């Protein structure tokens, strides 16, 4: 009987002029649109144009739905948000076969039955967010097999019934955020291979097991923020080959899940803020070559390895704000993304000094370091220069939070760095530091001098006073009262290329073939000049030359026999100190 009444009402309404638009509504017949927003309606009005396609009944006092909704069977979109609806009833939408978008958000709906949405065969967008839904029947979405967007956020769901999404082969966006889910809805996610956007933020999920996301090969956007996640299986993201956005903000991760993340080869946005991260190890974001945006704000990071971001060559934006225990950055820590990095934010950390070698300043457009306890001396003079000259840079204008960069040292406490003069930025060292530096310099100098003395003495001790040559030599002493020796060079210069093959002769009364022997002149007890002459071929020398050397018969106490070499010579020599020049065999 009810359908007959509805048809009758529809026919009657069609006859009546559409000019009977309620005073609290705005009707646009030319666009087939009616809006009754904030119209203080308690029920769905029935005197609107039955041909309308778009009906907005949001922000009223409608408590329940009756069959009057079916009066407008040409509807394409229906907005019932922000009312006080506590139930969708049974088969109230069965006449709305053309409806594509249904918004029932911000109401008081408690459950969805298998007949609540019956008849919505064309529905693509369904918003049930911010209700009080605690119960969903397994067949709740049985009739909506064309559904692409489903929003169940802001309800009280602790779990999803098996097979809930079984009849949604075209689902693209699924929002289950702000519920009380205790674990990943793995069994239902296995039924949604077409899913592109999955939002599970603000639940009570503690872990991401290996197979929970295994069929989501089309997923590009995954939000797991504000859960209780402590661990992520190494292969949890293995099948997410085209994921570009991952949000793990405000969980309980104590370390970067590097093995799991390394499977996300095209990831461009990664949010890890407000976790319990303590350190960024070497290659913490391994294989994330396409990463462009990295958010690490509000963690507990103390140390950052110099190679933490080595693989992230396309990084454009990085936030490290609020890591209160971060006191130092390694040099060139962000130079791996030298060409692409544009924004660096390190606000409210515990950095007392910053070095220009840590950041590729030539390419940055935004640089924020306010709220750090900087020591304002020569170590931050480069930053002072950046603040004062950024407007005259030849490259893109660098945006610096200069008004928030305050000094924390005793002399300039709480003063803005921008307010200081360049001359004030001098490296001031304490008297204790200067004293220790002076002592250190003295100790270092003494150590070096002692080492030099030790090495020099060792070399002198190791050097032999004289090593007898392989060929017989004579040591010749010429006293200085020799007039010839005074006015002429006393000794013929030594010839390096051939010491011994020098023809014997005399120049100015001194035999040729002499060369200097400084090792014989260490203890100059007698003034004079010493030289050594080769006497190998002395046997064939003329008598006058032999006379020069005063060769005499040997005396056992003062002579030594020359070694015999090939039987060519075997002479004994002696010297007589009264003769000049004196020839001494050595």
Could you tell me how many residues make up the chain? 586
Task: Look at residue 66 in the predicted model and tell me its pLDDT.
Answer: 82
Are the C-beta atoms of residues 329 and 302 closer than 8 Å to each other? no
Task: Look at residue 363 in the predicted model and tell me its pLDDT.
Answer: 86
Can you say whether the dihedral through the CA atoms of 66, 151, 155, 61 is positive or negative? negative
Residues of the chain with pLDDT under 70: 1-19, 390-396, 427-437, 458-586
Query: Residue 198 in 3-state DSSP?
Result: strand
CA distance 130 to 325: 38
Q: Which residues contact 305 (CB under 8 A, 6 or more apart)?
A: 279, 280, 281, 282, 284, 330
Task: Look at residue 68 in the predicted model and tell me its pLDDT.
Answer: 84
Respond yes or no on whether the N-terminal peptide bond of residue 581 is cis (omega within 30° of 0). yes
CA distance 135 to 87: 12
579 by Cβ neighbours in 10 Å (0-12 / 13-18 / 19+) ranks as: exposed
Task: Look at residue 433 in the predicted model and tell me its pLDDT.
Answer: 53
Respond yes or no on whether the N-terminal peptide bond of residue 166 is cis (omega within 30° of 0). no
CA distance 344 to 335: 12
End-to-end CA distance of the chain: 144
Task: Look at residue 562 in the predicted model and tell me its pLDDT.
Answer: 43
Please state the pTM of the whole predicted model. 0.70
The domain ranges of the chain are 471-586
Q: What DSSP designation does 397 have?
A: P
Q: What DSSP designation does 242 have?
A: T
Task: Look at residue 558 in the predicted model and tell me its pLDDT.
Answer: 42
Task: Look at residue 410 in the predicted model and tell me its pLDDT.
Answer: 85
The Cβ of residue 179 has, within 10 Å, a number of other Cβ atoms equal to 24
CA distance 476 to 145: 120
* The pairing of beta strand 245-247 with beta strand 269-271: parallel
How many CA atoms does the CB half-sphere of 560 hold within 13 Å? Answer: 9
Task: Look at residue 463 in the predicted model and tell me its pLDDT.
Answer: 53
């Amino acid at each position: 009987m009810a359908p007959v009444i509805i048809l009758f009402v529809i026919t009657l309404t069609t006859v009546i002029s559409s000019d009977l638009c309620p005073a609290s509504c705005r009707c646009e017949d030319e666009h087939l649109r009616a809006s009754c927003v904030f119209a203080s309606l308690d029920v769905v009005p029935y005197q609107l144009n039955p041909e309308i396609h778009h009906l907005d009944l949001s922000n009223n006092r409608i408590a329940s739905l009756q069959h009057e909704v079916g009066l407008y069977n040409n509807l394409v979109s229906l907005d019932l948000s922000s009312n006080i609806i506590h139930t969708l009833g049974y088969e109230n939408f069965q006449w709305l076969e053309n409806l594509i978008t249904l918004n029932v958000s911000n109401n008081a709906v408690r459950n969805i039955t298998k007949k609540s949405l019956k008849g919505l065969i064309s529905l693509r967008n369904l918003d049930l967010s911010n209700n009080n839904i605690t119960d969903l029947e397994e067949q709740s979405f049985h009739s909506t097999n064309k559904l692409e967007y489903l929003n169940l956020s802001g309800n009280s769901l602790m779990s999803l019934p098996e097979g809930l999404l079984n009849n949604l082969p075209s689902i693209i966006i699924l929002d289950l955020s702000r519920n009380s889910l205790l674990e990943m809805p793995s069994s239902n996610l296995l039924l949604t291979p077409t899913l592109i956007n999955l939002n599970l933020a603000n639940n009570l999920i503690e872990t991401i097991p290996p197979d929970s996301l295994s069929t989501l090969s089309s997923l590009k956007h995954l939000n797991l923020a504000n859960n209780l996640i402590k661990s992520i299986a190494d292969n949890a993201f293995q099948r997410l080959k085209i994921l570009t956005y991952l949000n793990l903000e405000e969980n309980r991760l104590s370390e970067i899940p590097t093995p799991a993340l390394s499977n996300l080869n095209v990831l461009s946005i990664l949010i890890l803020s407000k976790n319990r991260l303590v350190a960024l190890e070497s290659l913490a974001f391994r294989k994330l070559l396409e990463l462009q945006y990295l958010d690490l704000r509000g963690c507990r990071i103390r140390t950052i390895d110099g190679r933490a971001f080595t693989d992230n060559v396309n990084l454009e934006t990085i936030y490290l704000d609020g890591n209160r225990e971060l006191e130092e950055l390694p040099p060139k820590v962000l130079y791996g993304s030298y060409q692409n990095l544009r924004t660096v934010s390190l606000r409210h950390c515990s950095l007392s000094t910053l070095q220009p070698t840590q950041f590729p300043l030539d390419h940055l457009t935004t640089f924020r370091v306010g709220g750090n306890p900087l020591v304002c001396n020569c170590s931050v003079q480069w930053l002072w220069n950046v603040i004062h000259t950024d407007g005259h840079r030849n490259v893109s204008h660098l945006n610096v939070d200069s008004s928030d960069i305050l000094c924390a040292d005793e002399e300039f406490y709480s003063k803005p760095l921008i307010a200081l003069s360049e001359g004030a930025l001098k490296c001031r060292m304490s008297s204790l530091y200067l004293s220790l530096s002076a002592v250190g310099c003295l100790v270092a100098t003494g150590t070096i001098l002692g080492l030099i003395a030790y090495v020099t003495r060792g070399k002198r001790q190791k050097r032999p006073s004289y090593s007898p040559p392989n060929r017989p030599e004579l040591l010749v002493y010429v006293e200085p009262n020799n007039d010839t020796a005074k006015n002429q060079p006393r000794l013929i210069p030594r010839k390096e290329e051939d010491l011994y093959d020098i023809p014997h002769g005399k120049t100015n009364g001194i035999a040729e073939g002499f060369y200097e022997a400084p090792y014989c002149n260490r203890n100059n007890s007698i003034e004079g000049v010493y030289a050594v002459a080769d006497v190998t071929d002395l046997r064939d020398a003329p008598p006058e030359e032999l006379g020069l050397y005063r060769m005499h018969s040997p005396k056992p106490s003062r002579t030594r026999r020359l070694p015999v070499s090939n039987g060519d010579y075997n002479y004994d020599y002696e010297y007589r100190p009264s003769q000049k020049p004196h020839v001494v065999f050595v």
